[in-house]
């Protein structure tokens, strides 16, 4: 009987691992396809030649797509964990959701952490150096020469970063134990570097999110049709049309020798055409779109911003008053143990909406900063170098989102195996906890 029980437990563990691997692969495949179409929408079409540079661009495109898919997975994991917790509470014994357990959530978080390190320290530096490489002088030009130069640059970069960490640790803590720990690459260097990147991401989020919250109203005002109050759109369109015709006549009358004036007038004509397109869109919009959608969206943004600021202020007060409210001093409920909000599923849905809203606001704030304004991608006119920079930036922001959400008190979920998980996936529980 003991032998049969052992075989049954082993088979159950095997089937559980196969099921989790299949689910992870399907989820990542969906994210990869969506990320590929997003990057293709912004990638410059002139980069698509059939030569050596085209192969390099294609490889960099695949690596950037992989990184963007990992970033999307890191952003979606926290809402997915919250939704899974509420589903397990609502249907604890349902046969069709037996695959949704703490072991699967643990596996997804471990894969997200592993792939984030891989993209941040290996794939994205490789894509950038591979894109900029030309091959060493004296060697035959080709893909192999560019790969060799890229690998040499990666090795030099790794040695530079490891040396900087070693020197910094020696200056701060010059004892034997800390010096010996630096020789352990996997257990010390990579987690330490990723923690530093997450810290930088948190600081960047704290800088970008307030800017994004204020800019969201302007951005939505540009995307939506504003109500036409005390405005005559027909008269404005007529005046813009006359101005466009006047600029077109002046442009046709200029000689080709006056290059500076022609470029300036072409830019002015393009701005007039853009303004005319916006006015025509406002005129064609229906009455409910002008008078209902725009005020409703603005009120919704105001409510979400107010709730976010209120929750953050309450959590800061709790951290100042109660020491046990610190994230390190408390362990929230595990998957399927208890609801994360006193309002149940409604409160969990509100937390998910706020998390997405903060992430979108942080991205808007990131591109609104003057130093990162040149990173804004343009449709069909974004170089691969700029795409790589955008993917790295989004990866850093997404890796810091769970840390900032936990610090600001937007969720209190503790990713521990539930009693039900310990019965169904006991052989893998220790491995997952060790990996975390």
d(CA 24, CA 308): 32
Q: Is 391 left (phi over 0), alpha (psi -120 to 50) or beta?
A: alpha
pLDDT at 328: 54
Q: From CA 361, how far away is CA 388, in angstroms rounded?
A: 21
Both structure tokens of 305: 């911003």
Q: Are 417 and 362 in contact (CB under 8 A)?
A: no
**Among positive and negative, which fits the CA dihedral 196, 405, 373, 154?**
positive
Q: What is the C-alpha end-to-end distance of the chain, expressed in Å?
A: 34
HEC profile of the chain:
CHHHHHHHHHHHHHHHHHHHHHHHHHHHHHHHHHHHHHHHHHECHHHCCCCHHHHHHHHHHHHHHHHHHHHHHHHHHHHHHHHHHHHHHHCCCCHHHCCCCHHHHHHHHHHHHHHHHHHHHHHHHHHHHHHHCCCCCCCCCCHHHHHHHHHHHHHHHHHHHHHHHHHHHHHHCCCHHHHHHCCCHHHHHHHHHHHHHHHHHHHHHHHHHHHHHHHHHHHHHHHCCCCCCCCCHHHHHHHHHHHHHHHHHHHHHCCCCCHHHHHHHHHHHHHHHHHHHHHHHHHHCCHHHHHHHHHHHHHHHHHHHHHHHHHHHHHHHHHHHCHHHCHHHCCCCCCCCCCCCCCCHHHHHHHHHHHHHHHHHHHHHHHHCHHHHHHCCCCCCECHHHHHHHHHHHHHHHHHHHHHHHHCCCCCCCCCCCHHHHHHCHHHHHHHHHHC
Q: What is the model's pLDDT at position 66?
A: 94
Of 350, 346, 253, the residue nearest 304 (C-alpha): 350
Nearest Cα residue to 396 out of 371, 374, 366: 366
Per-residue pLDDT of the chain (436 residues; tens, 9 = 90+): 555 666 677 887 787 888 888 888 999 999 999 999 999 988 887 655 557 778 888 899 999 999 999 999 988 988 888 888 888 888 777 777 878 877 888 888 888 888 888 888 889 999 999 888 887 777 777 788 888 888 999 999 888 877 777 776 666 666 665 555 555 555 666 666 667 777 788 888 888 888 888 888 888 877 777 776 656 677 777 788 877 778 777 777 665 555 556 777 777 777 777 777 777 777 777 777 777 787 888 888 888 888 888 877 887 787 777 655 555 544 555 666 666 666 677 778 888 888 888 888 888 888 888 888 788 888 888 888 899 999 998 998 888 888 777 777 666 555 544 434 444 443 333 333 333 3
Tokens (6 digits) for 395: 């990866």
**236-251 residue pLDDT tens:** 777 888 777 787 777 7
* 0.85 exceeded by pTM: no
CB atoms inside a 10 Å sphere around CB 251: 14
């Amino acid at each position: 009987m003991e032998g049969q029980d052992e075989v049954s437990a082993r088979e159950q563990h095997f089937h559980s691992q196969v099921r989790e691997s299949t689910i992870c692969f399907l989820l990542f495949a969906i994210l990869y396809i969506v990320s590929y179409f997003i990057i293709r929408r912004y990638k410059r079409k002139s980069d698509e030649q059939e030569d050596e540079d085209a192969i390099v661009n294609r490889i960099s495109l695949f690596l950037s797509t992989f990184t963007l898919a990992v970033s999307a997975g890191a952003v979606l994991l926290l809402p997915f964990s919250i939704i899974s917790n509420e589903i397990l509470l609502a249907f604890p014994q349902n046969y069709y959701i037996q695959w949704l357990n703490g072991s699967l959530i643990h596996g997804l978080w471990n894969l997200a952490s592993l792939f984030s390190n891989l993209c941040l320290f290996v794939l994205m530096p490789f894509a950038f150096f591979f894109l900029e490489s030309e091959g060493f002088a004296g060697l035959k030009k080709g893909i192999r020469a560019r790969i060799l130069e890229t690998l040499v640059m990666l090795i030099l970069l790794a040695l530079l970063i490891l040396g900087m960490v070693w020197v910094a640790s020696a200056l701060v803590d010059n004892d034997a134990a800390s010096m010996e720990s630096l020789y352990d690459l996997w257990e010390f260097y990579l987690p330490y570097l990723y923690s530093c990147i997450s810290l930088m991401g948190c600081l960047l989020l704290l800088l970008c999110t307030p800017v994004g919250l204020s800019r969201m109203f302007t951005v939505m005002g540009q995307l939506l049709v504003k109500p036409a109050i005390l405005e005559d759109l027909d008269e404005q369109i007529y005046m813009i049309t006359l101005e466009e015709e006047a600029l077109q006549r002046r442009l046709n009358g200029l000689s080709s020798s006056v290059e500076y004036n022609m470029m300036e007038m072409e830019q002015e004509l393009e701005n007039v055409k853009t303004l005319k397109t916006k006015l025509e869109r406002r005129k064609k919009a229906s009455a409910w779109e002008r008078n209902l959608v725009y005020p409703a969206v603005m009120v919704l943004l105001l409510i979400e911003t107010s709730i976010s600021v209120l929750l953050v202020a309450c959590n800061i007060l709790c951290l100042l008053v109660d020491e046990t409210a610190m994230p390190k001093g408390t362990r929230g409920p595990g998957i399927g143990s208890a609801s994360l909000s006193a309002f149940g599923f409604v409160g969990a849905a509100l937390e998910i909406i706020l998390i997405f809203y903060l992430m979108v606001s942080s991205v808007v704030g990131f591109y609104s900063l003057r130093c990162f304004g040149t990173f804004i991608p343009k449709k069909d006119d974004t170089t691969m170098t700029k795409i790589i920079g955008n993917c790295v930036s989004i990866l850093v922001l997404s890796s810091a989102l769970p840390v900032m959400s936990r610090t600001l008190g937007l969720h209190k979920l503790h990713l521990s195996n539930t009693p039900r998980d310990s019965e169904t996936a006991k052989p893998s529980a220790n491995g997952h906890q060790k990996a975390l």
